[in-house]
Amino acid sequence: MRLLLLACLRAQTGNATTAARIQSHLHAAGHICVLKDAFLYESPAEIADLTSTDKFDAALAIHLYKGGRLLQGSRIPFGIIFGGTDVNEDVKSEEKHRVMGAVLEEARFAVAFTVEMKELAAAEWPEARKKIYVQTQGIKTTPSETFDWYRFLERADIPTDTDRLYLFLLICGLRRVKDPLYLVEVFSDWHRKDPSVHLGIIGPAVDPLFTREVKEKVKRAPGVHLLQELPQDDLHAAVKRCFALVNSSTSEGMSAAILEAMDLDVPVLARNIPGNAAIIKHKETGLLFSNPQEFVVLSKSLMNDPIMEKEIIMRAKDYVKKHHSWESERKTYQNLVLRLQ
């Protein structure tokens, strides 16, 4: 089959890496899967022209609203993959809710990353329950062997000539829902007392206006650094060398960065929101914090208790192997697209 996959394809974002992974799964089954950025299209009519001209047999879209709305009334069959924004944010808008319901009605199938996400969707659109499948994100990390850790630190003005360095990495697109500024103030206060702790924020400038706000605040916050974006294999290598991964989002579907850190043997500290709590069991596979002060307390406990750190790393790695198999994800999507024939 010749398949169209619509997604928000801004480089180094979770959507883009998820789309690329699904594309590779479908290519492996002998299909042709063409990625298109949903942001480049405004109406279903434009996608109808595209699917006719390029002779697509079927389509997939990530996000019911951002991608799925463009497939409404499509001449070809399609499937949908939920994004966290669908059930956490867009559902609050009456118009978006109506559009997403119509998209679900037309879709042959829908994929949710968690049981919780499926239940939230089924509560909104009960008639769609039977067509919603649960498939967690499959994880496969590829840390670069040539990544220069010291140069990476030097570029960020993080001292390399020190016996102790605790670098916390926060990986996210710079937009409000990811709330990268949530910990800046408390982290900077902590750094003033303990210069060995540093927070690196790394990710694409998704919202230009908000990015300027982040840059201004970080400039005035010692110990906090806005880092240059990296290709995925270099990013994995940087994560592998950092002390812990941080997630401070107000809303998440399923954070690939968290799962990748777990796979790379790096402990995770994440804000206690439903999307994060669905994949982290507190003090077993990671640490969940409810406010900035608790983040500092939990971070210190992790720094001072190497046995707890080791156990969290080990259990998190086991969890990813068991529940986020890349091979299992591949089989699921290869089987689901057969419903589009």
- 63, burial (CB in 10 Å: exposed 0-12, middle 13-18, buried 19+): buried
Domain containing residue 53: 2-138+325-340
At residue 11, the pLDDT reads 60
Whether residue 204 sits in one domain with residue 290: yes
Check which CATH number belongs to the domain holding 313 and give it: 3.40.50.2000
CA count, 13 A, side-chain hemisphere, 231: 8
| Structural domains in the chain (count) | 2
- Same domain, yes or no, for 163 and 294? yes
Whether residue 54 is found in the same domain as residue 168:
no
Is 143 contained in some domain? no
pLDDT at residue 228, as a whole number: 87
CA distances 65 to 6, 77, 112, Å, are 11, 17, 14
Indicate if 313 and 171 belong to the same structural domain: yes
Would you state the pLDDT for residue 145? 95
Same domain, 119 and 176: no
Residues 210 and 190 in one domain: yes
158 and 213 fall within a common domain: yes
Tell me whether residue 109 is in a domain.
Answer: yes
Cβ proximity of 49 and 73 under 8 Å? no
| 95 shares its domain with 232 | no
Residue 85 has a pLDDT of 81
Instruction: Determine the length of the chain.
Output: 341
- Domain assignment present for 244: yes
156 φ/ψ angles, rounded to the nearest 5 degrees? -95, 5
pTM of the model: 0.84
Residues of the chain with pLDDT under 50: none
Q: Give the per-residue pLDDT at 12.
A: 57
- pLDDT digits over 31-54, tens only? 999 999 999 999 999 999 999 999
Q: Do residue 129 and residue 236 come from a single domain?
A: no
Same domain for 74 and 178?
no
Check residue 10 and give its pLDDT. 72
